[in-house]
Amino acid sequence: MKSILRQSPLGLLRRPACQKLRPTASADSSVWRPSRDIQYNLVRGVASSWSPRQQEYPEEKRWAPLPTRKAINRLSVIQTTAPRYVTVDIEGEQVAFDNIFLRDACRCHMCVDPSTQQKLIQTSDINYDTKPKFQTALPDGTLVIKWDIGPGVDGQHISTYSFDFLRTQANLRWRLRSNFNDRRQVLWDKRLMEQDVLWIDYQTYMESDEMLLEAVRHLSIYGLVFLRKVPENSRQNSVEGIAKRIGNIKETFYGRTWDVKNVKDAKNIAYTPLNLGLHMDLLYFESPPGLQFLHCIRNTVTGGSSIFADAFRAAQTVRMTSEPLFKALCDFPVTFHYKNDGHHYHYSRPTVVLEKNTYLRQPRIDHMNWSPPFQAPIEVDTNGKDNRAFRSWLHAIRNLGTSIEDPESQFELKLNEGECVIFNNRRVVHGRREFDPESGDRWLKGTYVDVDAFLSKFRTLSERFKGGVDNQDYL
């Protein structure tokens, strides 16, 4: 097969040329996906001189894999004159832990209930002057501390801390990784998604937890996954089952599931044959849904193709061209509302929200808020002190909108019957082309799942399957 060279932050990588976009029904494999060992450029086709290594991950060590546990871990206690800290040497690196942090982190049966795994002590109850009476490192890397204050024999308490725990707590990067909060992202455009799009057979998705991990892993990296071959006899109910494989359904005033059809006197533009611009759903909620599921039951109309775009990539384009405009996207409050059919929802939030807990010099985007059809009048003093910020935001969203609406940024396809799309509603914007309602029937069924449920499934499956998440899933 022909090979092509691709530039990644790690250098030039060789991979097979792109396969067919939509696999045929006779395809032997249940899933087609790009090699999981390849990491692509985070942004392609924009600012060719831009280096992901320099902009997103400026420190060389961030690309190095975390040290793995050795047969005999090297841990030693360092005696210091600092009374508030326990200092240890972890394989050549000195790390100081606050006494109260270690005492609070004790996992013995007197501090954490073995059944519920919930704490039995409150951090606020720990004596401020708590300090070790004795501390030592065992040959396997375990740290043992006998505290001078606390429950136990003669008012003493013994705590043990594994090498893995101490290693994890040594710095922010490892703490984030231990909870799967350091996942990498690939920012995509039309060309990249056409090459990297992931299709999974419905039956495999429903029966194989390893394939489910592949689906949530791809959602974490790209924010977009497709299912195919949904059986005919379960189509009307399948979207619930597909969603519940990841987490509990988020019920809204639309119901547990909802039908996207052409409806007379519709209360939502989605229920018309009109062109539906790229947007995110329910941004007028305090907590909008994390994942959206849209399952195609019938689609025989002329037109009506589905459109998707990576809003993170569009925002990163603004960031690379103008830091002040990007800051306006992060700071200026935008109001969204739904006031119709006996409902009144209302919420204000900035267009771009950055990760707060990060070791990167330039924080990544955590989630975005882009939904022009449901935007309310701006609620700032536009003729007073807020006018300058308002004008900067207008300039910023014009640039952002241009990037989102660029045809080269959009992945477009017409969903066939028996296909389902799953996407990150806080990252990927979606829309639909206008269609002719007289030419046939178009019926999609949708539902939502919260981002917390999605992340919980990602973490539990990653922990369960050895090697299910390799170093290239992280920064």
Domain CATH code at residue 108: 3.30.2020.30
End-to-end CA distance of the chain: 30
Based on the domain organization, do 94 and 147 belong to the same domain? Answer: yes
Question: Looking at 141, 170, 199, which one is the last position of a domain?
Answer: 170
pTM for this predicted structure: 0.81
Is 50 within the bounds of a domain?
Answer: yes
Based on the domain organization, do 257 and 302 belong to the same domain? Answer: yes
Give the CA distances from residue 32 to residues 11, 27, 105, 317, in Å, rounded to whole numbers and listed in that order.
Answer: 25, 9, 44, 29
Based on the domain organization, do 430 and 304 belong to the same domain? Answer: yes
Average pLDDT of span 151-156: 58
Based on the domain organization, do 98 and 196 belong to the same domain? Answer: no
Q: Give residue 7's pLDDT.
A: 34
Look up the domain containing 153 and give its range. Answer: 78-170
Is 297 within the bounds of a domain?
Answer: yes
Based on the domain organization, do 109 and 228 belong to the same domain? Answer: no
Q: Give residue 437's pLDDT.
A: 76
Lowest mean pLDDT among 70-74, 321-325, 447-451: 70-74
Taking each helix axis from N to C end, the angle separating 387-405 and 323-331, rounded to the nearest 10 degrees, works out to 100
Query: Total structural domains in the chain?
Result: 2
Residues 6+ apart with CB under 8 A from 190: 407, 408, 409, 410, 411, 412
Based on the domain organization, do 231 and 264 belong to the same domain? Answer: yes
Based on the domain organization, do 112 and 206 belong to the same domain? Answer: no
Based on the domain organization, do 127 and 266 belong to the same domain? Answer: no
Is 257 within the bounds of a domain?
Answer: yes
Q: pLDDT tens for residues 383-397?
A: 888 999 999 999 999
Cβ pair 423, 225 in contact under 8 A: yes
Q: Strands of 169-284 (E only): list them.
A: 199-201, 224-228, 258-260, 276-279
Question: Looking at 170, 194, 213, which one is the last position of a domain?
Answer: 170
Bridge-partner residues for 435, per DSSP?
303
CATH number at residue 245: 3.60.130.10
Is 362 within the bounds of a domain?
Answer: no
pLDDT at 49 over 60: no
Cβ pair 6, 12 in contact under 8 A: yes
Question: Looking at 111, 137, 170, which one is the last position of a domain?
Answer: 170
Q: pLDDT tens for residues 253-298?
A: 999 999 987 655 555 555 566 768 999 999 999 999 999 999 999 8
**Average pLDDT for the chain:** 82
Cβ pair 325, 396 in contact under 8 A: yes
Compute the distance between CA of residue 464 and CA of residue 44 in angstroms, rounded to an integer: 34
Lowest mean pLDDT among 35-49, 157-171, 374-388, 409-423: 35-49
Is 355 within the bounds of a domain?
Answer: no
